[in-house]
Amino acid sequence: MSVQYDDLKDLVKNENQIMIDNIPDEYLTDTLKRLRGYADVVIKPTSTEEVSKILKWAYEREVPVTPRGAGTNLVGSTVPDHGGIVLDLSLMNHILELDYETLTATIEAGVLLQDFQQYVEEKGLFYPPDPGEKTASIGGNISTNAGGMRAVKYGVTRDYVMGLEIVLADGRILNVGSKNIKDSSGLSLKNLIVGSEGTLAIITKCILKLIPKPEISISVVVPFDSLESGLESVLTIIKENANPTAIEFVERKVIKLGEAFLKLSFPYPNAQAYIILTFDGKKDEVSANLSRIKEVVLHKSALNFIILDDKKLSENVWKIRSVLVKAVEAVSEQEPVDIVVPINKTLEFIKYVNKLEKETEMQMVSFGHAGDGNVHLCVVRGNRVESEWIKEKHENMAKLYSKAYELGGITSGEHGIGLTKKEYFLNETKNINLELMRKIKSDFDEKHILNSHISYNL
Amino acid sequence: MSVQYDDLKDLVKNENQIMIDNIPDEYLTDTLKRLRGYADVVIKPTSTEEVSKILKWAYEREVPVTPRGAGTNLVGSTVPDHGGIVLDLSLMNHILELDYETLTATIEAGVLLQDFQQYVEEKGLFYPPDPGEKTASIGGNISTNAGGMRAVKYGVTRDYVMGLEIVLADGRILNVGSKNIKDSSGLSLKNLIVGSEGTLAIITKCILKLIPKPEISISVVVPFDSLESGLESVLTIIKENANPTAIEFVERKVIKLGEAFLKLSFPYPNAQAYIILTFDGKKDEVSANLSRIKEVVLHKSALNFIILDDKKLSENVWKIRSVLVKAVEAVSEQEPVDIVVPINKTLEFIKYVNKLEKETEMQMVSFGHAGDGNVHLCVVRGNRVESEWIKEKHENMAKLYSKAYELGGITSGEHGIGLTKKEYFLNETKNINLELMRKIKSDFDEKHILNSHISYNL
């Protein structure tokens, strides 16, 4: 049937929730703006009921729907590759309940991470997941099972999702999970939705687990004369049972880019690499852990142990750490990678990256979450012309993913697969696993209208 | 086709892995032995390859398969209701790898919880999930997403399953999950298998997360003059951020049964109810938390704060706590319930139970995991004749589940649904959720040969 997008106006409260002509470019792409799709209409629902009506309408007409939170993804998952509807959940950004007794919050999916973190911290509570991109929406964080800095101690987004309200492709609304802490009652549909990149259903509401806010949080910079010695120290730190919140690694050459980008200084410039640690919790506990780890790493190969008790200095260190992808991007186009390997393979993987960098003369900037084997790589274009860049980037990416899988690793630790990593993910994943994922996709969305071009989909 | 069970002998190494005639009664039931199925054959595979061959054989012939670990379940999930094959994984009980660098163990699914806990603790490591039944198999624990005492601090079995090797109904072998800490790479098939009660696939190998063993672990008995005051104190304790490992509640009248059953004494007999707390971790941390919680609960309505620093006394308290279901069962037949409600609804639920007990004159013994809203109830037969018992039990169970759902609760926190709770689970769960579970079942097992009569299945 011919699709009359104008009819959608009847399904929402206000006509200005819909854009049919002159759709702004931001709705057709992701943060990196390298891929562009096209859309017939952008709709901004304000309630679950509106989402339901819109999906029912789209399902009946087999119109593709690309859900979108804040559009901060890096892998093309908000690119409306097949046209149709861009479903922008940014107006569904209300905090609906803070339940002190169960330590849960119920919020709409479009709430931004930074707003939610600030809200709960002002009330003495804490939402541990802490991906670098604070302007992401919580719905987006759930859809990619976002990780971030604090995963070493606190786990990832999945660990804080207690329940979800979702809308199926055909418009039916259901709840998965609940405020209950334990659950052995049937298949865990909730855990299927977490990390499903908008391919199974639209998340409209989220029940999130909170914890009491830690008394203090202190970071430390530990400089090393090589990345190898730094990464070797990480396994020692983990075994010490000192419960670090974050363990990040970064090479001096990358820090320099961050310093230049922000015009800020990082401590101890005469090092080749750094481990940045955070400890949080009760004051006594944190200082006991700090002393113990200080002793351990200085006994190994650390050059110093710089406790960032100066608030300004601590902020600067984390600002520089958080800006690295942008700092690299400011110098040259780059392709972001967030491969994960088992934690004891991080060093071997980084060594491989360095070798590949030399062999191919393509710059590969690496840093990331040493505490959980989640390596962030920027594969840098430099001055390559378009055709060279595309060809060589593709060859190198294939090698990187292949090496990661050889080491027992996987494609993505927190960004998701989207469009840009799909080829590598499909290459490295067993057919039988993909077959099951695709069958499950059809269970939720038989007509394949929801983000059906990304991730595990054909 | 007519099924020749004798042919199965060709699929295993040794003929004595198969029992065709004179199948011992234990294979036809569960721990409680109230339900009985029938089986044509019991097979004990010794490898994943044997499991694969047996399933392929069964799938081609559409022979039902009932998987079985140690058979310790309480809900009839190992009852071979439709005949066919009982697949006993108890010979697959090898610890295959302890990886100190990634802090993971890889084991076969038939390893018993107690053996695994002992093994890792001897090596200075710790497997936190701690269900009461230590002779359960790890595969069984994963299939029910078992919880237990230490869930307050450490979470449940799901939180420690990093990867699984599974065999689909048609015999195909695959791996889900991995040793990687973060994962945003496609749908989480692993999380579907956890808690699926053997309905989707047979678990053959498990990669489990370990943590360093806590330095010390100390328990405390806190007596109260009513269960209400005890449960009110629980919310206060949780908000104190003192990181308790376990928070159990139990009424004096139940403790008495345990004391009589074991001929042991519980401290402070002149109380109506007790909260039992455990704290573990570093010595300083534990003693700081103990002092803080002592002050807080004595300031509320606690009658005392008995630190169990005497090893014998501590063991006795936990022995009594762990034996309660058996102690009740020794006096009369009973129906075990492990309803979960949001933690702030525990008291309301228990009050409802007490009211129902009075109204119906059916004894309902309650105790359980106060720290996570997981209430263990024994609904006691007393001297009712069979027909009365069945009728009244059924009426009361329906009321209990209905109340739990009204409070936002769910059917099971750790035992699973199996056969005995199926009716209540199906009654209280939305059709749309059941529909999705059943579609997923068919994705994994199109011919419905694996445990297809229990839980969410029709």
Query: What is the CATH number for A303?
Result: 3.30.70.2190
Question: How far is Cα B10 from Cα B217, in angstroms, rounded to an integer?
Answer: 51
Q: Check B443 against A440: CB less than 8 A apart.
A: yes
| Nearest residue in chain B measured CA to CA from A100 | B239
Are B246 and B276 within 8 A, CB to CB?
yes
Contacts of A372 in chain B (CB under 8 A): 181-182
Q: Is residue B384 part of a domain?
A: yes
B74 touches chain A (CB under 8 A): no
Q: Is residue B446 part of a domain?
A: no
Are A141 and A113 within 8 A, CB to CB?
yes
Tens digit of pLDDT at every position of chain A (458 positions): 578 999 999 999 999 999 998 899 999 999 999 999 999 999 999 999 999 999 999 999 999 999 999 999 999 999 999 999 999 999 999 999 999 999 999 999 999 999 999 999 999 999 999 998 999 999 999 999 999 899 999 999 999 999 999 999 999 999 999 999 999 999 999 999 999 999 999 999 999 999 999 999 999 999 999 988 999 999 889 888 888 999 999 999 899 999 999 999 999 999 999 999 999 998 988 999 999 999 999 998 999 999 999 999 999 999 999 889 889 989 899 999 999 999 999 999 999 999 999 999 999 988 889 889 999 999 999 999 999 999 999 999 999 999 999 999 999 999 999 999 999 999 999 999 999 999 999 999 999 999 999 999 98
Are A301 and A229 within 8 A, CB to CB?
yes
Q: Is residue B427 part of a domain?
A: no
Q: How far apart are the first and last CA of chain B?
A: 25
Question: How far is Cα A375 from Cα A403, in angstroms, rounded to an integer?
Answer: 13
Are A189 and A176 within 8 A, CB to CB?
yes
- CA-CA-CA-CA torsion sign (A22, A27, A28, A29): positive
Question: How far is Cα A350 from Cα A356, in angstroms, rounded to an integer?
Answer: 10
B296 touches chain A (CB under 8 A): no
* Preferred mutation among B187, B346, B369 to probe A, highest tally of A CBs within 10 A: B187
Q: Is residue B449 part of a domain?
A: no
Q: What is the longest distance spanned by two Cα atoms in chain A?
A: 73
Q: Which two tokens stand for residue A376?
A: 């962030």
* Interface subset of A 360-399, CB within 8 angstroms of B: 369, 372-374
Q: What's the structural domain count of chain A?
A: 3
Question: How far is Cα B369 from Cα B277, in angstroms, rounded to an integer?
Answer: 10
Which one-letter DSSP state was computed for residue B132? Answer: S
Q: Which two tokens stand for residue A142?
A: 């759930």
CA-to-CA separations, B300 to A103, B224, B294, B305, B445, in angstroms, rounded = 21, 10, 10, 12, 54
- CA-CA-CA-CA torsion sign (A258, A259, A264, A266): positive
A343 touches chain B (CB under 8 A): yes
B212 touches chain A (CB under 8 A): yes
Q: Check B184 against A195: CB less than 8 A apart.
A: yes
Beta strands at A85-88 and A65-68: parallel, antiparallel or unpaired = parallel
Distance between A418 CA and the closest CA of chain B, angstroms:
10
Q: Check B417 against A186: CB less than 8 A apart.
A: yes
The dihedrals phi and psi of B421, each to the nearest 5 degrees, come to -105, 5
Are A165 and A48 within 8 A, CB to CB?
yes
Based on the domain organization, do A132 and A203 belong to the same domain? yes
Question: How far is Cα A113 from Cα A132, in angstroms, rounded to an integer?
Answer: 10
Q: Check A340 against B182: CB less than 8 A apart.
A: yes
Question: How far is Cα B336 from Cα B325, in angstroms, rounded to an integer?
Answer: 8
Are B90 and B108 within 8 A, CB to CB?
no
Question: How far is Cα B227 from Cα B350, in angstroms, rounded to an integer?
Answer: 9
Question: How far is Cα A193 from Cα A202, in angstroms, rounded to an integer?
Answer: 9
Contacts of A103 in chain B (CB under 8 A): 238-239
Looking at residue B1, its pLDDT comes to 56
**Whats the size of chain B, residue-wise?**
458
Q: State what percent of residues in chain B have pLDDT above 90.
A: 90
Got the DSSP string for B38-87? --SEEE---SHHHHHHHHHHHHHHT--EEEESS---SSSTT--TT-SEEE
Based on the domain organization, do A89 and A41 belong to the same domain? yes
Domain boundary among B161, B185, B212: B212
Q: Which helix (H) or strand (E) holds B156?
A: none
State which amino acid sits at residue B240.
E
CA-to-CA separations, B312 to A209, B148, B295, B308, in angstroms, rounded = 37, 22, 25, 9
Question: How far is Cα A379 from Cα A391, in angstroms, rounded to an integer?
Answer: 13
Based on the domain organization, do A314 and A353 belong to the same domain? no
Distance between A352 CA and the closest CA of chain B, angstroms:
18
Are B396 and B384 within 8 A, CB to CB?
no
B188 touches chain A (CB under 8 A): yes
Closest to B219 (Cα-Cα) out of B304, B313, B129: B313
* Partners of residue B177 on adjacent β-strands: B163
Based on the domain organization, do A319 and A374 belong to the same domain? no
* Preferred mutation among B167, B185, B192, B285 to probe A, highest tally of A CBs within 10 A: B185
Based on the domain organization, do A339 and A448 belong to the same domain? no
B178 touches chain A (CB under 8 A): yes
Q: Check B410 against A180: CB less than 8 A apart.
A: yes
| Nearest residue in chain A measured CA to CA from B444 | A436
Burial bucket for residue A191 (CB in 10 Å: 0-12, 13-18, 19+):
buried
CATH number at residue B409: 3.30.70.2740
A430 touches chain B (CB under 8 A): yes
CA-to-CA separations, B422 to A18, B223, B332, B457, in angstroms, rounded = 46, 37, 23, 9
Contacts of B444 in chain A (CB under 8 A): 436
* Interface subset of A 94-133, CB within 8 angstroms of B: 99-103
Q: Is residue B430 part of a domain?
A: no
> Could you give the 3-state DSSP secondary structure of residue B175?
strand
Q: Which two tokens stand for residue A38?
A: 């096209």
Q: Is residue B457 part of a domain?
A: no
Q: Check B183 against A342: CB less than 8 A apart.
A: no
HEC profile of chain A: CCCCHHHHHHHCCCHHHEECCCCCHHHHCCCCCCCCCCCCEEECCCCHHHHHHHHHHHHHHCCCEEEECCCCCCCCCCCCCCCCEEEECCCCCCEEEEECCCCEEEEECCCEHHHHHHHHHHCCEECCCECCCCCCEHHHHHHCCCCECCHHHHCCHHHHEEEEEEEECCCCEEEEECCCCCCCCCCCHHHHHCCCCCCCEEEEEEEEECEECCCEEEEEEEEECCHHHHHHHHHHHHHCCCCCCEEEEEEHHHHHHHHHHHCCCCCCCCCCEEEEEEEEECHHHHHHHHHHHHHHHHHCCCCCCEECCCHHHHHHHHHHHHCHHHHHHHHCCEEEECCECCHHHHHHHHHHHHHHHHHHCCCEEEEEEHHHCEEEEEEECCCCCHHHHHHHHHHHHHHHHHHHHHCCCECCCCCCCCCCCHHHHHHHCCHHHHHHHHHHHHHHCCCCCECCCCCCCC
CATH number at residue B175: 3.30.465.10
Based on the domain organization, do A31 and A171 belong to the same domain? yes
Based on the domain organization, do B294 and B379 belong to the same domain? no
The dihedrals phi and psi of B127, each to the nearest 5 degrees, come to -110, 100
Which one-letter DSSP state was computed for residue B112? Answer: B
> Which pLDDT band, with edges at 50, 70 and 90, does B300 fall under?
confident
Distance between B6 CA and the closest CA of chain A, angstroms:
31
Based on the domain organization, do B205 and B222 belong to the same domain? no
Distance between A25 CA and the closest CA of chain B, angstroms:
27
B446 touches chain A (CB under 8 A): no
Are B34 and B63 within 8 A, CB to CB?
no
Of B146, B178, B184, nearest to A414 by CB-CB distance is B184
Q: Is residue B327 part of a domain?
A: no
Based on the domain organization, do A141 and A277 belong to the same domain? no
Domain around B63: 5-90
A322 touches chain B (CB under 8 A): no
Are B341 and B401 within 8 A, CB to CB?
no
Domain boundary among B154, B180, B212: B212
Based on the domain organization, do A185 and A101 belong to the same domain? yes
Taking 60 as the threshold, does the pLDDT of residue B146 lie above it? yes
Q: Is residue B421 part of a domain?
A: no
Q: Check B146 against A369: CB less than 8 A apart.
A: no
B156 touches chain A (CB under 8 A): yes
Based on the domain organization, do A186 and A232 belong to the same domain? no
Question: How far is Cα A40 from Cα A63, in angstroms, rounded to an integer?
Answer: 10
Question: How far is Cα B36 from Cα B92, in angstroms, rounded to an integer?
Answer: 25
Q: Which two tokens stand for residue B420?
A: 């005995």
Of A101, A408, A412, nearest to B344 by CB-CB distance is A101
Are A220 and A303 within 8 A, CB to CB?
no
Closest to A323 (Cα-Cα) out of A186, A134, A103: A134
* Interface subset of A 299-318, CB within 8 angstroms of B: none
Beta strands, E only, B228-362: 246-251, 273-281, 306-307, 334-337
* Partners of residue A450 on adjacent β-strands: A65
Which one-letter DSSP state was computed for residue B214? Answer: P
Cβ neighbors of B245 (< 8 A, separation 6 or more) are B149, B150, B152, B153, B154, B217, B278, B279, B280
> Could you give the 3-state DSSP secondary structure of residue B312?
helix
* Partners of residue A416 on adjacent β-strands: none
* Preferred mutation among A156, A182, A193 to probe B, highest tally of B CBs within 10 A: A182
Based on the domain organization, do A290 and A405 belong to the same domain? no
* Preferred mutation among A102, A185, A337 to probe B, highest tally of B CBs within 10 A: A185
Contacts of A338 in chain B (CB under 8 A): 184
Q: Which two tokens stand for residue A42?
A: 């952008």
